[in-house]
Amino acid sequence: MTSAPPLAGLRVLELARILAGPWIGQVLADLGADVVKVEAPEGDDTRTWGPPFVESEDGENLSAAYFHSANRGKRSITADFRTPEGQALVRRLAAHADIVVENFKVGGLTKYGLDAASLRAEFPRLIYCSVTGFGQTGPYAPRAGYDFLVQGMGGVMSLTGEPDGAPMKAAYATADIYTGLYATIGVLSALRRRDATGEGAALDMALLDSQIAVLGNQALNYLVSGRLPQRLGNAHPNIVPYDVFPVADGHIIIATGNDGQWRKLCEVLGEPMLADEPGYIDNRSRVKNRVALTEHLHTLTQRHLKADLLAALEKLGVPAGPINGVDEVFADRQVLARGVRVDLASDVAKGGSIPTVASPIVMDGVRQVSPRPSPQLGEHAAEILNDPAWGGPQHG
């Protein structure tokens, strides 16, 4: 017998658009929550952020791929917050929600009576999660937050790129997505606390806070040593060799994590005595002499073909791997075996389905991904308004 999803019965009211806020709703929907997405009459901004667009059978636009990356599993209804009718609709839904997620600018919902203080005063069990660029407090609180700006302000761009190159952002929205994930942890923690106390919570989630949090060892390297981390390209600040290396037909990654793996690498490359040289005998020495060692390793790895070297390293347990294009990612046998790509059935999409990247959460052998594709704008208005769980008419 298949058990119900872990968050079945939980109701989430999403007043969010773009990425960080919708990412929270999507994760919760994947885990079984009923997520109602309230969109402005013109829809979430990302519906227009294409091409590419998902097409219907007759060639119509079913919203940009960007929108579909963060909104599966939800039901959509529209409301104009500027009108009394729109405000009343949100309050009606909030009365039946466990969680509200919003990512308006600080104070943006106060004038409508839809802010955390107003709704929690009326519904004290509500867990209200606010996502902003810089948080509800501090001198930057009034500013709008954009992922690109936050990557720059949060330090990651000073660490990313080649040593003599320009600062470089990540190719995906790290600040938005990490904030969505941290916020989801916060929401679930608040639910656990509510189980014990009966009281809801107000969560203040900031893109800048989250981006700084994931600096991880780089932040601690600076805080402990006082020395400013530098851009190292693909190299690791604390481990050598841990980098991209050239081979006869391209490049591979070699990521030795200990001295034993280092010795095995030297064996595979045909210079076992290299491991015993005083300048390279342990990781501390290798970090100190990284430039000379890396140059020498380049001369050795270039003698090998990619497939041959990777096979030899795998056989001895030395961590190494290819650098895949996105097409190669989704064709990889491990990715195929794990079911990372999922095609969600759709009555309106061309070909009868919309592709998605499944949640990485696998529970009791079951991948937690909603079977429901991203909604069309306002698609479920009648359904939601008549749903008793959301205050619709009761049928005896």
pLDDT at 2: 63
Asked whether the predicted pLDDT for residue 396 surpasses 70, the reply is: no
| One-letter amino acid of 80 | D
Question: Could you confirm whether 308 is annotated as catalytic?
Answer: no
Examine residue 234 and state whether it is found in any structural domain, yes or no. no
Examine residue 272 and state whether it is found in any structural domain, yes or no. yes
Give the SS3 label for residue 268: helix
Whether 267 and 147 map to the same domain: the answer is: no
Give this prediction's pTM: 0.94
Strands (DSSP E) found in 158-313 = 201-206, 242-247, 250-255
Indicate which CATH number applies to the domain containing 303. Answer: 3.30.1540.10
Whether 310 and 373 map to the same domain: the answer is: no
Asked whether the predicted pLDDT for residue 177 surpasses 90, the reply is: yes
Out of 44, 98, 147, 176, which one is annotated catalytic?
Answer: 176
Residue 75: closest CA among 25, 116, 114: 25
The 10s digit of each residue's pLDDT in 279-308 is: 999 999 999 999 999 999 999 999 999 999
Examine residue 337 and state whether it is found in any structural domain, yes or no. no
Examine residue 229 and state whether it is found in any structural domain, yes or no. no
Asked whether the predicted pLDDT for residue 179 surpasses 70, the reply is: yes
Examine residue 339 and state whether it is found in any structural domain, yes or no. no
Whether 35 and 169 map to the same domain: the answer is: yes
Whether 190 and 83 map to the same domain: the answer is: yes
287: its two tokens: 């970090």
Whether 43 and 167 map to the same domain: the answer is: yes
The 10s digit of each residue's pLDDT in 328-341 is: 999 999 999 999 99
- Structural domain boundaries enclosing 129: 11-215+354-390
Q: Are strands 61-64 and 127-132 parallel, antiparallel or unpaired?
A: unpaired
Whether 289 and 162 map to the same domain: the answer is: no
| One-letter amino acid of 167 | P
258: its two tokens: 């200990």
The 10s digit of each residue's pLDDT in 122-158 is: 999 999 999 999 999 999 999 999 999 999 999 999 9
pLDDT at 3: 81
Mean pLDDT, rounded, for 14-23: 97
Whether 204 and 89 map to the same domain: the answer is: yes
Examine residue 230 and state whether it is found in any structural domain, yes or no. no
